[in-house]
Amino acid sequence: MRSLYAHAAVPWVTTVARLVVAGVLIAAGWLKIGTPALSVQAVEAYELLPAPVASVVGHGLPIVEIVVGVLLVVGLLTRAAGVVSALLMLAFVVGIASAWARGLRIDCGCFGGGGPLAAGREPEYLWEILRDGGLFLLGAWIAWFSPGRLSLDRALGLVAEPRRAGAVDGEWPGDDDDGEEPSGGEIDGEEPPGGASRDGGGVFEPRR
């Protein structure tokens, strides 16, 4: 039973993960979308992309972050949004680690700003890698166990209903039981009705 309760909690864990990742993405995109020049500057500071590509990424990244965040909040195209969010976080981890390894002193630009650090400021690469690494794991969880509870995907019938035999689309056996227990056999060690008992061969026989 403990395992069943743990399985039933998985869709709710997915929902919480959706909201956490969505909150970060929407905040990050909102803080950058009004200052595209700074967003481009932040991308260029990593010195990984040619200037024209960095400009496209700098202008497009805030829009992608907001769109993916909104999709995660409402649970629409959840698996795809989870995959995109995980890939974004992985790209951020790689970029920050690369800047650290090459001795660059830059602001990651994750929540606006970006570019070379002012005198006296120290990079926070370790914290930024740990943060984005954790968000990558949440994005992977969402992609694997989507869509979770309170999702438009399920309300619109965009995902298959789970089979009783196992977990499908983030649902597990017992999710839709409405608290009812199956009949016709032993439940949690209880004996079957009618004073019957189970013999060694698995067949119910009346008590004598």
Query: Tell me: the pLDDT tens digits for 7-37?
Result: 889 999 999 999 999 999 999 999 999 999 9
Tokens read off for 110: 């994750």
Q: Is residue 149 part of a domain?
A: yes
Report if residue 170 sits inside a domain.
no
Least confident of 38-42, 85-89, 110-114, 130-134: 110-114
Residue-level pLDDT at 68: 98
Residue 82's nearest CA partner among 34, 135, 121 is 135
Is 178 within a domain? Answer: no
pTM of structure: 0.75
In sequence order, the β-bridge partners of residue 206 are 196
Q: Kindly state whether residue 186 falls inside one of the protein's structural domains.
A: no
Please write the tens of the pLDDT for every residue from 32-76. Answer: 999 999 999 999 999 999 999 999 999 999 999 999 999 999 999
Q: Is residue 180 part of a domain?
A: no
Spatial separation of the C-alpha atoms in residues 163 and 173, rounded to whole Å: 8
Type of residue found at 123: P
Query: 120-165: per-residue pLDDT in tens?
Result: 889 999 999 999 999 999 999 999 999 999 999 999 998 876 554 4
Asked if 59 and 39 touch (Cβ cutoff 8 Å), the reply is yes
Residue type, 87: L
129 inside domain: yes
- When divided into structural domains, the chain yields a total of 1
User: Is the backbone of residue 115 left (phi > 0), alpha (psi -120 to 50) or beta?
Assistant: left
- Determine, yes or no, domain membership for 124: yes
**Structural domain boundaries enclosing 23:** 2-155
The answer to the question of residue 41 being in a domain is yes
